[in-house]
Amino acid sequence: MGCGNASKRRNMKTIIYSAHKFEKEFLVNANAGKHELEFFEIPLKMETTQLAVAARAVSIFVNDDASEKIIEKLHAGGVEFIALRSAGYNHVALDKAKQLDIKVARVPAYSPYAVAEHAVALMMALNRNLIRANSRVHELNFSLDGLTGFDMNGKTVGIIGIGQIGGVLAKILNGFGCKILAVDQIENGELIEKYGLVYTDYDTLYKEADIISLHVPLTKATHYMINQHTINKMKRGVMLINTSRGALVNTKAVIAGLKTGQIGYLGLDVYEEEGGLFFEDHSGDILQDDVISRLLSFANVLITSHQAFLTNTALQNIAETTIYNLDCFEKQIEFKNQI
């Protein structure tokens, strides 16, 4: 991937925060020695901003804190560019970055297939009780009682936010024989034509969907879109899947819905308080979060730790685009991934 004339001036020092083992090799290979990358497993937060002193760029992931004060601190240390290794940018104070002339770029699309396929994995594992079935078999319990699922064929799935990921999900679910309802501000005629998708309003989707999957970005308008009021509008026993952002869902309202049976199944890859919890091994700690602790007590809840993106294809695309964004910044040209 090229972007204009290469500047041979000097390597650009970049601090990679929240550098996970699973992504390091991809970044090193994509970089091919072009930029001076320094990897740190710790996230960006106020106490770790000093690591970026003397660096021109930092690269951050979904749970790093790039709020106003932290951006000010980075700016004071000389940082001019933030390369997000994510599509979502709800964790970055963009106005503050703009005010301080810090450029920010993201990876707009690295694999919508990875996320959509994970949403389907959650649906199927919940529907067919795969986790419980696997545990039973390992205990030599081959009984089937309590493992009954349902045919996906003929079920109505409501997709909220039908952009890149939602579009792939529609394609997969069309293959299952599902009826697909969608809510989005923009209608995509191709999805209607190819997958028989029907655009509708929120109330109809809530009323008719057997499964609801969230694929909108987290914004002021979508924050807590799933709350007590909207849960009450859903079909009794609905399956709710969230692979988008945790704070789309009011977790306490969802717990109340699970307790009454209004929500029949819950699949989460994201959680509103996931920062400081997800991506890390806390197996030796005492869990302080009573909300996730309650969620984990339900047999019909399946939680993964923000891993929907985690495929080889996605990691390679994230690494290549991040290095491309660093290249473009270094060459001081306008580039398409800047936000």
Q: Whose Cβ is closer to ligand NAI: residue 104's or residue 165's?
A: 165
Residue of 118, 306, 320, 330 marked active site: 306
- Residue 272 token pair: 């509103």
Tokens representing 18 are: 């929240």
Q: Least distance from C-beta 75 to ligand NAI, angstroms? A: 26
Exposed (0-12), middle (13-18) or buried (19+): which is 171, by Cβ within 10 Å?
A: middle
Rounded to a whole number of angstroms, the minimum distance from the CB of residue 151 to ligand NAI is 27
Instruction: Please report how close the Cβ of residue 295 comes to ligand NAI at its closest, in angstroms.
Output: 17
**By C-beta, is 55 or 310 nearer to ligand NAI?**
310
* DSSP reduced 3-state for 224: coil
Catalytic residue among 56, 85, 118, 274: 274
- What's the min distance (Å) between Cβ of 256 and ligand NAI? 23
Decide if 110 contacts 95 (C-beta within 8 A).
Answer: no
Nearer to ligand NAI, 217 or 275 (CB): 217
Question: Which residue's CB atom is positioned nearest to ligand NAI?
Answer: 163
> Which tokens belong to 145?
């009682």
Which residue number, 55 or 105, has a Cβ lying nearer to ligand NAI? 105
At position 271, the amino acid (one-letter code) is Y
User: Which residues in this chain contact ligand NAI in the complex, by CB under 6 A?
Assistant: 87-88, 109, 112, 115, 160-166, 183-186, 215-218, 221-222, 243-245, 269-270, 306, 308-309
Q: Is 170 exposed, middle or buried (0-12, 13-18, 19+ CB in 10 A)?
A: buried
Question: Considering the complex, what minimum distance in angstroms separates the CB of residue 307 from ligand NAI?
Answer: 7
User: Residues 6 or more apart from 286 whose CB is under 8 A from it?
Assistant: none
Cβ-Cβ contacts under 8 Å for 211 (sequence gap 6 or more): 123, 155, 156, 157, 158, 178, 238, 239, 240, 241
Instruction: Specify the residue, 133 or 162, whose C-beta has the smaller distance to ligand NAI.
Output: 162
| Alpha-carbon span 211 to 305, nearest angstrom | 21
CA distance 278 to 40: 17
Whether 274 is catalytic is yes
Task: Please identify which residue in the block is written with the tokens 């190819």.
Answer: 194
Provide the annotated active-site residues. 245, 274, 306
